[in-house]
Amino acid sequence: MPGIDEKDRKILRILRKNGRVTLTELGNLVNLSPASVKSRVEKLEKLGVIKGYSAIIDPSFLENFVRALILMRLKEIDPYTRSLLKEVASLENVEFLYIKTGDYNVIIKAEFRDMEGLREFLGSLKKTFGVNALTIEANLVVEELKDCWLADEDAPRL
């Protein structure tokens, strides 16, 4: 991307790992003054490289004890279907929704209070997408070994 250099990339890697780092700390880590770091961060925000900041919350503290990856095979993804997918993606319990390649062309990660909440969500997906939904499959998350947002950039790579 034009206008992005290696210092910017290092700032981005640090912010991805710790969005609460101060400008002073960030400056020390990339050998720049806090004012220079602030200018670079503002530039990255303006370019849309930094899309926002958020906290990573343990879902059980929000009384969501069931996490699921939901795979959908839609017959077609036209503009109307995209608008429906955007509505689903905007739901509070949906962590992410991707349109992807492969047998299933949509994947959703969502959290639910209980299994009944998951069943209701699956029913609403069937109703929303109707005959366009060829397959909807829910997979429960049993254990999370790595959250991409908490990835340690210094961890060894396989």
Considering the domain architecture, whether residues 136 and 92 belong to the same structural domain is answered as: yes
Average pLDDT for consecutive 10-residue bins of the chain (158 residues)? 87 92 95 96 94 85 93 97 98 96 97 97 98 97 74 49
Residue 11: burial class (beta carbons within 10 Å; 0-12, 13-18, 19+): buried
* 98 falls within a domain: yes
In this structure, the answer to whether residues 72 and 106 fall within a common structural domain is yes
Task: Look at residues 39, 59, 44 and name the one whose alpha carbon lies nearest to residue 111.
Answer: 59
Single-letter code of the amino acid located at 8: D
| DSSP, res 101 | S
Confirm whether 20 is domain-assigned: yes
Number of domains in the chain: 2
**Tokens 């109703």 — which residue?**
127
| Bridging pattern class, strands 66-74 and 106-112 | antiparallel
Is residue 33 situated within a structural domain?
Answer: yes
Furthest-apart CA atoms within the chain: distance in Å: 58
What does the pLDDT read at residue 152?
Answer: 54
Q: Does some domain include residue 136?
A: yes
